Chain A
Amino acid sequence: MARIVVAEDDAHVVRLMSIWLTRAGHEVQEARTGIQAKEHLQNGGVELLVTDVNMPGCDGIELVEWLRNEAGLDIPVISLSARCDQAKIGQRFAELNVVVHPKPFSPSRLNEEIEELLAAAEAG
Chain B
Amino acid sequence: MHSLASRLSAFSSREEVPRSIGLLLVLVYVVALAALGLVSDNQIRAVVWEQQVAGKTGSIVLLANMLDPGTETEEPARQATLRRYMKSEGCAEVRVYDRNLQIVASPASSEVGRKVGVRPPGSQVTPAEPAAELLSNPQNARRHLLLRAPVPGSGKPPNLFVEAVFDLEPPRTLISGARARMLAIALVSTGALLWVYHMLRRHFRSFAKIANNLAVHRGRVEQQLDELRVQDGNDALTSSWNRLIDEVAALEEEVARSTAANELLSALSKTKAGELAEAMISVPLGVLLLAEDCTILYANRVAGRLVGCPEGSDSGAVLGGESATRRSDQTVEVIRACVLETSAFRPFDKQIDAGDGNYYHARIIPVRTQQQSRRFVALIADVSQQVRADTAREEFVSQVTHELRTPLTNIRAYAETLSSGMFDDPQVITECYNVITKETRRLSRLIEDILSISQLEVGSMQLIFDDVDLRSLLTDAVRDVRGIAESKNIDLQIVLPPKLEPIRADRDKLAVVINNLLGNALKYTHSGGQVVLSCRRTENNLIVSIRDSGIGIDPKDHERIFEKFQRSSDPEVLEETGTGIGLTTAREIVRHHGGEISLMSKKGEGSTFTVTIPVDQRAPTPAVART
Contact = CB atoms under 8 A, between A and B. Distances in A.
B423 A23 contact: yes
B413 A105 contact: yes
A10 B406 contact: yes
Contact of A105 (B398, B409, B428): B409
Contacts of B405: 82, 103-104
A12 B410 contact: yes
Given A57-B575, A83-B398, A84-B398, A13 B420 contact: no
Contact of B406 (A15, A85, A103): A103
Contact of B413 (A13, A54, A85): A13
A62 B413 CA distance: 26
B409 A106 contact: no
Contacts of A56: 575-576
Interface string B391-432: 000000110011001101111111011001011000010010
A25 to B, nearest CB: 13
Given A19-B428, A23-B423, A56-B576, A82 B417 contact: no
A104 B436 CA distance: 13
A11 B431 CA distance: 12
B401 A23 contact: no
Contacts of A19: 417, 423, 428
A104 B409 contact: yes
B398 A104 contact: no
B417 A20 contact: yes
A12 B402 contact: no
Contacts of B401: 82-84
B487 interface: yes
B427 to A, nearest CB: 10
B379 to A, nearest CB: 35
B402 A104 contact: no
A12 B406 CA distance: 10
Interface string A14-56: 0110011001000000000000000000000000000000101
Interface residues of B, number: 26
B577 interface: yes
B421 to A, nearest CB: 11
Given A82-B406, A84-B402, A104 B397 contact: no
B428 A104 contact: no
Contact of B402 (A15, A16, A54, A108): A54
Contacts of A13: 409-410, 413
Given A11-B487, A57-B575, A82-B402, A16 B410 contact: yes
B420 A108 contact: yes
Contacts of A15: 431, 435
Contacts of A105: 409, 412-413
Interface string B376-399: 000000000000000000000110
Contacts of B563: none
Nearest to B399: A84
Contact of A16 (B406, B413, B577): B413
Contact of B577 (A54, A84, A103): A54
A12 B487 CA distance: 11
Interface in A62-115: 80, 82-85, 103-108
A24 B397 CA distance: 38
B223 to A, nearest CB: 65
Contact of B410 (A10, A57, A83): A10
B243 to A, nearest CB: 65
A84 B402 CA distance: 7
Contact of B417 (A11, A16, A57, A84): A16
B292 interface: no
A104 B435 CA distance: 15
B439 interface: yes
A29 B413 CA distance: 19
Contacts of A20: 417
A104 B422 contact: no
Contact of A108 (B409, B416, B487): B416
Given A10-B410, A56-B576, A82-B409, A23 B422 contact: yes
B212 to A, nearest CB: 76
B413 A107 contact: yes
Nearest to B438: A12
Contacts of B417: 16, 19-20, 107
Contact of A106 (B411, B416, B423): B416
Nearest to B400: A84
Nearest to A107: B413
Nearest to B394: A84
Nearest to A16: B413
Contacts of B414: 12, 16
Contacts of A54: 402, 577
A59 to B, nearest CB: 10
Contacts of A104: 405, 408-409, 411-413
A24 to B, nearest CB: 10
A29 B428 CA distance: 19
Contacts of B409: 10, 13, 80, 82, 103-105
A10 B408 CA distance: 12
Contacts of B397: 84
A94 B435 CA distance: 33
A23 B424 CA distance: 12
Contacts of B435: 12, 15-16
A12 to B, nearest CB: 4
Contacts of B575: 56-57
B284 to A, nearest CB: 36
Contacts of A80: 409
Nearest to A82: B405
Interface string B577-597: 100000000000000000000
Contact of B416 (A12, A84, A103, A107): A107
A84 B398 CA distance: 6
Nearest to A83: B402
Contacts of A82: 401-402, 405-406, 409
Which of B411, B413, B417 counts the most chain A CB atoms within 10 A?
B413
Given A82-B406, A82-B409, A104-B412, 20 more contacts: A10-B409, A11-B487, A15-B431, A16-B410, A16-B417, A19-B417, A57-B575, A82-B405, A83-B398, A85-B398, A103-B408, A103-B409, A104-B405, A104-B408, A104-B411, A106-B413, A106-B416, A107-B416, A108-B416, A108-B420
Nearest 3 pairs between A and B by C-beta?
A82-B405, A104-B409, A103-B409
24 contacts: A12-B414, A13-B410, A15-B435, A16-B410, A16-B414, A19-B417, A19-B423, A20-B417, A54-B402, A54-B577, A56-B576, A82-B402, A82-B406, A84-B397, A84-B398, A84-B402, A85-B398, A103-B405, A103-B408, A104-B409, A104-B411, A106-B413, A107-B413, A108-B416
